């Protein structure tokens, strides 16, 4: 079932790329494994998935101890400073840096592991109270500048979550905002390459708007038990 789901998903990603004049190689598919057992993740690995995303720090730590060969782990959930210690060893990329305080802690812990930690800034592009992220442009640039000054951080991109809605115009607006922010930051001398946006219900719109990383769970593993 999982291999079939991945095959169907890949066909949709390829079609969205063709419609947008983009290459499939430009996009990294991240399988979101929140609450998924190791046995299920192994099926996804067998089906060719190389990148996996976790929302919870301890869950990432535990799964990394069991599954770390030839795959890459991404931390995509809200991260508290006291949980950074669980994430730093395992995460190839932390998608959810939303404050200077958190960046400072990641830098400090990365130094202890002699690691240059790749990170994304999480940007809030909707008004939903449940969403996290930097919203004020001044704060975004201050946080980005701080990250670039940290010897053990490598800021490579931005992340956002679109509002939970069926209104495609609102979803598009959210992703468009992130793309334009990337362009603005690069015009100011930053080197922002990655846009982590798009999930099971909106990844096709995200591809149209320049996503380079898709975080997909349900379309691969089915509905999960929260």
Give the global pTM. Answer: 0.97
CA gap 86, 166 in Å, rounded: 35
pLDDT band at 131 (very low <50, low <70, confident <90, very high): confident
| In-domain check, residue 115 | yes
Q: Is there a contact between 204 and 9 (Cβ–Cβ < 8 Å)? A: no
| In-domain check, residue 226 | no
| In-domain check, residue 109 | yes
The shares of helix, strand and coil residues in the chain, as percent rounded to the nearest 5, are 45, 20, 35
| In-domain check, residue 118 | yes
| In-domain check, residue 103 | yes
Q: Which residue has the higher pLDDT, 69 or 75?
A: 75
Question: Averaged over 27-32, what is the pLDDT?
Answer: 98
| In-domain check, residue 124 | yes
Q: Give the number of domains in the chain.
A: 1
Please check the confidence at residue 226 and state whether its pLDDT lies above 60.
Answer: no
Q: Name which of 118, 192, 106 is nearest 157 in CA terms.
A: 192
Residue whose structure tokens are 């509905």 = 223
CA gap 102, 95 in Å, rounded: 12
What is the domain range of residue 137?
2-221
| pLDDT tens, position by position, 157-216 | 999 999 989 999 999 999 999 999 999 999 999 999 999 999 999 999 999 999 999 999
pLDDT attached to residue 129:
79
Return the CATH number at 34: 3.20.20.10
| In-domain check, residue 165 | yes
């Amino acid at each position: 079932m999982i291999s079939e789901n991945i095959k169907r998903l890949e066909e949709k990603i390829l079609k969205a790329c063709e419609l947008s004049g983009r290459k499939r190689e430009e996009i990294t598919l991240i399988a979101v494994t929140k609450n998924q057992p190791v046995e299920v993740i192994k099926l996804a690995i067998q089906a060719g998935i190389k990148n996996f995303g976790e929302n919870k720090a301890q869950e990432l730590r535990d799964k990394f101890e069991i599954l770390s060969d030839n795959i890459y782990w991404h931390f995509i959930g809200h991260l508290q400073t006291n949980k950074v210690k669980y994430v730093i060893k395992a995460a190839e990329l932390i998608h959810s840096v939303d404050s200077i305080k958190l960046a400072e802690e990641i830098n400090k812990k990365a130094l202890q592991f002699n690691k240059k930690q790749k990170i994304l800034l999480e940007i809030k592009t909707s008004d939903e109270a449940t969403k996290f992220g930097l919203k004020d442009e001044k704060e975004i640039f201050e946080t980005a500048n701080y990250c670039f000054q940290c010897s053990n951080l490598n800021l490579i991109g931005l992340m956002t979550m679109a509002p939970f809605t069926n209104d495609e115009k609102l979803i598009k607006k959210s992703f468009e905002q992130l793309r334009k922010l990337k362009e603005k930051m690069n015009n100011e001398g930053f080197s922002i390459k990655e846009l982590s946006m798009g999930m099971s219900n909106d990844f096709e719109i995200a591809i149209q708007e320049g996503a380079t990383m898709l975080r997909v769970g349900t379309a691969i593993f089915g509905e999960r038990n929260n």
